[in-house]
Amino acid sequence: MLGIIKTYTNTSRIGSPAVRKPPPGSPPPAPTIAADAGRLNRLFWAWKLLLILIAVLSPGPGYDTSTDLWLASDRDTDTVPWTAWPAQRLVSRFVRWDALYFATSSARGHQTEQEWAFSRPHAAFTSLVAKFIPHFLHPSLLVHNALAGIVVSHLAHLGAVLVLYLLVRSVVPSSEQRKAKIAYTAACLHIVSPAGIFLSAPYGEASYAFWSFLGAFCYINTTKPRQSDTTITVWYVLSGFSFGCSALVRSNGVLNGIIFAADAGVFLHRYLTRAGNDKTLLSMTRYIAAGSLTGLGFVLPQLLAYLEYCTGANTRPWCTALPPSIYTFVQSHYWNVGLFNYWTLSNAPLFLLATPMLVIFFSTAYTALHHGHVGSEPEKIHVQQTKSKDPDEEPFKAAMFVHVMRRLALPQLLLAVLALSSFHVQIVNRISSGYPLWYIMLAMAVHVGADPSAGKNYTVGRYALVSRFGKWSGVVARWTVRLMVIYPIVQAGLFASFLPPA
């Protein structure tokens, strides 16, 4: 098993998808999407099997007995047939930390206030999936819902891998061969994401990543040339809807709305400095519609909680706050989330643990915003034309890539600032899994390290994550990938034993 993982995650291999050897003298063909999807699917399940084996074979109940007490609360787990043992063993290792809340809410709905910190729509969906879990696997309703959460996480993660592949392949301004290599590499990096076993357990991270990547993919399609205004509007609405679904799963999905706010701000500036027209109104309408759909994903659960806790004779302290957000209240009241609340000496090891991902988040966001700071589209196109030595780097596509990277940098940068200042900082290692920007830039760095000629592409060369390290950039990229592979393996054993970090 380790041999398979090592083969597929070798940094020189993940930059080079399998293709048929071309006839002598002809350029190598780009691998088909189906061929790369097949290889990604095999790598995905090999990696998942490794993490499952590590978790299931972890000894003992762990230092916390919450899962055992949770299972004991269901009378159907008292005496189970031997055929149900594999399911119970799997659940006993995967229902750790917040997964207890997700699985419990899936089985019986939200019943306590603090459970509103976890996605009610996601719990409702896994509850629906649980109805299709065969009874012979286990008689317990709790186990069925936990298994449903595990199934949803695996399928959502696989979907996110494939969407990320399509996203990167559609946005990189280079030849089909190079785009395919970078897209394949980025998808492989998401498979071995530092989120690790959290993308397999009954958490919302995998579903969030799927909807977040789908929203970004739809947004990228709004920049494609030769589209009607109606088509562009449809892509904007689909992007806003997908980001809204991501906000239903994890509240930080609402940060993606800044993408549409930035577009609206730029367009409003142009409107105020030159005469408007009908297209101006249509453009503002699509930005507002997409942003509203994104915000709705955050507001809707708050509204449902308000109707449950703040109407009639019911009342809670947060009901009179402005705005009356149950999510903000429970995070602060039950988990002490707030500005600089986590900045204590005892939490220093957790800040150290989060430092590599925070560095990647800040550096990639800065690079995207800094390199993309060009005044106008014609100026961007001129920069690409004059500096690129790659004939396949079409100027318009390069300019659109710059635009997209700047937009994707905004929610990532906001999340990094919030994680550093207000969140339980260590969770950045798992919630980072749903942000495509850093995968793209690290994939470029791996590709440039394996094939120095890729640096001739002006866009690929300057957006590669570690391009400033010069001749050492390839070494830094390879070691970054190796650490990404090692960390989830260690994490899986710790998680299964109910040990931090969570």
Which helix (DSSP H) or strand (DSSP E) does residue 370 occupy? Answer: helix 348-371
CA distances to 235, 306, 339, 451 from 301, in Å: 25, 9, 23, 48
Question: Contact, 172 vs 460, CB < 8 A?
Answer: yes
> What tens digit of pLDDT does each residue of 88-105 get?
999 999 999 999 999 999
- Return the minimum-mean-pLDDT range out of 18-22, 103-107, 225-229: 18-22
The C-alpha torsion from 41 through 47 and 52 to 54, rounded to 10°, is 170
Query: Is the predicted pLDDT of residue 249 greater than 60, yes or no?
Result: yes
Grouping H, G, I as helix, E, B as strand and the rest as coil, residue 97 is: coil
Token pair belonging to 246: 């991501």
Rounded CA-CA distance 161/30 in Å is 19
Tell me how far the alpha carbon of residue 175 is from its chain's centroid.
26
For residue 186, give the nearest of 175, 170, 201 by alpha carbon. Answer: 170
Q: Identify the pLDDT of residue 65.
A: 81
Query: Is the predicted pLDDT of residue 290 greater than 90, yes or no?
Result: yes
At 252, the amino acid letter reads N
Q: Identify the pLDDT of residue 10.
A: 60
Rounded CA-CA distance 357/108 in Å is 36
Question: Contact, 39 vs 18, CB < 8 A?
Answer: yes
- Return the minimum-mean-pLDDT range out of 101-110, 212-221, 307-316: 307-316
Greatest alpha-carbon span in the chain = 81
Task: Enumerate long-range contacts of 72-76, CB under 8 Å, 24 or more apart.
Answer: 73/142, 74/140, 74/141, 74/142, 74/143, 76/138, 76/139, 76/140, 76/141, 76/142, 76/143
- Read off the pLDDT of each residue in 218-246 and give the average, rounded to a whole number: 94
At 255, the amino acid letter reads L
Q: Residue 57 has what DSSP assignment?
A: T
Write down how long the chain is: 502
Query: Is the predicted pLDDT of residue 35 greater than 90, yes or no?
Result: yes
Q: Name every residue whose Cβ is closer than 8 Å to that of residue 369 and which is 6 or more positions away in sequence.
A: 406, 409, 413
Question: Contact, 153 vs 206, CB < 8 A?
Answer: yes
Other beta carbons within 10 angstroms of residue 103's beta carbon come to: 30
Tell me how far the alpha carbon of residue 308 is from its chain's centroid.
31
Rounded CA-CA distance 404/243 in Å is 16
Query: Is the predicted pLDDT of residue 303 greater than 50, yes or no?
Result: yes
Rounded CA-CA distance 12/447 in Å is 8
Q: Identify the pLDDT of residue 192.
A: 97
Query: Is the predicted pLDDT of residue 387 greater than 70, yes or no?
Result: no
Query: Is the predicted pLDDT of residue 395 greater than 90, yes or no?
Result: no
One-letter-per-residue 3-state SS of 125-191: HHHHHHCCCCHHHCCCHHHHHHHHHHHHHHHHHHHHHHHHHHHHHHHCCCCHHHHHHHHHHHHHHHH
Query: Is the predicted pLDDT of residue 183 greater than 80, yes or no?
Result: yes
How far from each other are the two terminal CA atoms of the chain, in whole angstroms?
A: 26
Token pair belonging to 302: 């708050």
Query: Is the predicted pLDDT of residue 385 greater than 50, yes or no?
Result: no
> What tens digit of pLDDT does each residue of 127-156 get?
999 999 998 898 889 999 999 999 999 999
